[in-house]
Amino acid sequence: MTIIDKIDKIQLPKTDKYFEKSSMDGYAFYGAARINLGLDTELMKHEVSNRCFGLNKTWNRKDGILLPADEPYTYTCFPCYMFYNGLNDNTGLDKVISTLDLIGRYPSGMMRYCNTEINLEVPNVSALAAYMYSHYNISITYDLIRVLHNRQLSSGNWQYTGLNSHTKRVMRCEDTAHLAMMVIGLRGVENITGIKTNDMVKKAQACLCSMNEPKFPIKAIDWGPPFLYVAMLGTGHPIEIRAKNRSIELLEHTNFRVRAIASWALSVNFI
């Protein structure tokens, strides 16, 4: 069975573990994959249209913040942007940008994670927002790239920044999936706008390689390798092939969101 056949036969979720049935992102990623491969998208259009740009289920975060079911998330806008862009759906794209405008940015210039205040600057959503704004408001893209350039660590990663006494104790950097998403966003920005991001990309790619040698970290939910594959696509680095092979395996993962992300990652090569 070919990769395209495997992607075409991916099953929709039957449970809601890790929000696989309620969250919009899985359907949007899978829809984008089907567009890239020339497969029918009517069912994914239906599933996406019935959801908001988020989990569509209340999330009680570990920090005690309760996010409502209709909470919009910057991250979720990303696969929806790709889905609507592939469909040439300008109405859908306008909804994505309007949602980003609603979520807004911090005085520092960093993009906010969601509409509810979590008092934490999350680097990956700034890179994704910079990419999504590239066709709509290049001045915002410039601002986001500038602050990301200034904040990149010597390791090539980015650190979360807490904004109150509780979140200032958060001292962590992006994991593989989220750092890879940043690389994807930054590469997209340069491709669309010509804004130079390659210096940041190369540092982040080197960090990704060091984080995933000699083997991929064990995660409770395994969506790192698909994002890693797209982040390293075209580099010729051995980790690109390892991530691709792992992504093929993940097409049969028990979680739909993982299957969907893997399908999208593998479909990028067919565009």
Residue 223: CATH number of its domain:
1.50.10.20
pTM reported for the whole predicted model: 0.96
**Domain-embedded: residue 16:** no
| Domain count across the chain | 1
DSSP 200: H
pLDDT-flagged residues of the chain (< 70): 170, 271
Can you tell me the distance from the alpha carbon of 162 to that of 238, in angstroms, rounded to the nearest whole number?
36
Residue 127 domain boundaries: 3-7+21-270
Q: Which helix (H) or strand (E) holds 94?
A: helix 90-103
**Domain-embedded: residue 15:** no
pLDDT the model gives residue 167: 72
pLDDT the model gives residue 165: 72
Contact between residue 263 and residue 10 where contact means Cβ atoms under 8 Å apart: yes
**Domain-embedded: residue 13:** no
Amino acid letter, residue 112: R
pLDDT the model gives residue 217: 83
Distance (Å) of CA 181 to CA 120, 184, 185, 201: 18, 5, 6, 11
Please name the residues in contact with 13: beta carbons below 8 A apart, sequence gap of 6 or more.
Answer: 20, 21, 26, 255, 256, 257
Name the residue among 57, 50, 49 with its Cα closest to residue 84.
Answer: 49
**Domain-embedded: residue 14:** no
Alpha helices in 117-220 (DSSP H): 123-133, 138-151, 176-193, 198-211
